Structure 1
Amino acid sequence: MTIRQDLLDTLAQVGKALGNGHRLALLERLAQGEAAVETLAETAGLTVGNASAHLQHLRRAGLVTARRAGKQMIYRLTDQRTVTLLSLMRDVAETNLAEMERLVSRLFADDNPDGALEAISRGELLSGLRHGSVALLDVRPEDEFESGHLPDAINIPLEQLEAMLDELPKDREIVAYCRGPYCVLSHEAVKKLRALGYQVRRFDEGFPEWKAAGLPVQ
């Protein structure tokens, strides 16, 4: 009984490490690719000191590992199955917590006033790619794109979008994607492009979920 309880207590360390929104934000960024603590802090809206403290919790739980590169500490996910774990947490929460549904509806409040901004599912996106009817737009920062992206995606970070419209095809529907289901970068890109007359939707997942599903990446 003691060993069994010890096992459960050890397992609970993972749950405790995940029990903080800032740490989930850090994991979301690391799901895009490895990054220095300074980059992680900026992405998560934390000071470097606070980000380092949260990363140590994640490291003790075996969720991230680190290496030194000169004066920088570079972190990465220990196991890509963490992306699947986060997806399961999200699914359970959205299914069983009314507050999650309310918050998601607020996050994308203007998505479906007339259905025009409705997100595209993985199945629809795969079909569009097979038929050559869609073009992929990755609106993440360049360093995240270089760590991995969907096949043949065009990388235009959100803040550069209006200056790089010539890069976008005009003969196909554009599908914008970013870090994951709660990432608003692609949502903002869709709004901007639709206002300019482009046919565009956002992918309802992101690069990590696509990769975790075993689909091709570059």
Structure 2
Amino acid sequence: MSSTPKHEIYEHLAEVAQALGHANRLELLEHLAQGRRSVDLLAELTGMSVANTSRHLQLLRRARLVDAERRGKQVFYRLAGDAEVVSVLQTLRHLAERNVAEVDRIVRDYFDARDALEPVSREELITRMHSGMVTVLDVRPEAEFALGHLPGAVSMPIEALEDRLAELPKDQEIIAYCRGPYCVMSFEVVSALRMKGYRIRRLEEGFPEWKAAGLEVVTD
């Protein structure tokens, strides 16, 4: 039986799906959604060996999900289309939360237990930013903040929080954001600041989704 054009397309789609079908590769895509990264740094961030990290990245590259660039002795990777790849990850997340009972349980037992308040939507945050009625807090590491952040955001990594509390206003609501909807750091910051009397909520998603939506991003 000869292959039809539709079948050939499905075969290529299956290759992309296969590349996405590994937890470590999904985590690598989350880190690359923050900005370009070297193989060495990605290995450090994920706790994998450099060799294993490189193998996963090569599979993602063959599926055209990431691009690579060599600079001297180092190879740097980035998403092959921020909007498209982030959109696929968003769809995968929504589908799993709706259809996979274990994912729904983890979201309720871990994330919702740490922050029962409804997060702020992207549209709501934009409105508040325009009115100047909110302080936007970026809790990612400083290196990720430098690669790109929301306009007017204050960089305050979680490890610096206790030493810099005086910089945060208690008379204005704070909106914190992180790497994405499953980023533990934003939940921890929200919980810690709320216990100290600050009015703080989370952004519903994170920096990658903001950037993928075509909204303004500031780089240092």
1:86 aligns with 2:101: no
SS at match of 1:93: helix
Aligned sequence identity (%): 53
- One-letter identity of the residue aligned with 1:91: H
In structure 1, what is the equivalent of residue 159 of structure 2? 159
Q: Tell me how many residue pairs correspond in the alignment.
A: 215
| CA distance in 1: counterparts of 2:95 and 2:189, whole angstroms | 28
In structure 1, what is the equivalent of residue 105 of structure 2? 102
Which residues in structure 2 correspond to 1:43-122 (within 5 Å)? 43-80=45-82, 81-112=84-115, 115=116, 117-122=117-122
- One-letter identity of the residue aligned with 1:85: V
SS at match of 1:175: strand
| CA distance in 1: counterparts of 2:69 and 2:89, whole angstroms | 24
| CA distance in 2: counterparts of 1:141 and 1:133, whole angstroms | 25
Which residues in structure 2 correspond to 1:1-218 (within 5 Å)? 1-4=2-5, 5-80=7-82, 81-112=84-115, 115=116, 117-218=117-218
Cα shift readout 1:69-105 (whole Å, capped 9, x = no counterpart) = 2222111011111011111111122122222211211
Q: CA RMSD in A?
A: 1.6
| CA distance in 2: counterparts of 1:166 and 1:214, whole angstroms | 33
Where does structure 1 lack aligned partners over 5 or more consecutive residues? Answer: none
Offset at residue 166 of structure 1 (A)? 2.8
| CA distance in 2: counterparts of 1:165 and 1:67, whole angstroms | 40
Offset at residue 158 of structure 1 (A)? 0.9
| CA distance in 1: counterparts of 2:206 and 2:14, whole angstroms | 28
SS at match of 1:197: coil
SS at match of 2:103: helix
Could you list the structure 1 runs, at least 4 aligned residues long, displaced by more than 4 angstroms after superposition.
none
Contact 1:111 1:118 in 2 (8 A): no
| CA distance in 1: counterparts of 2:3 and 2:41, whole angstroms | 42
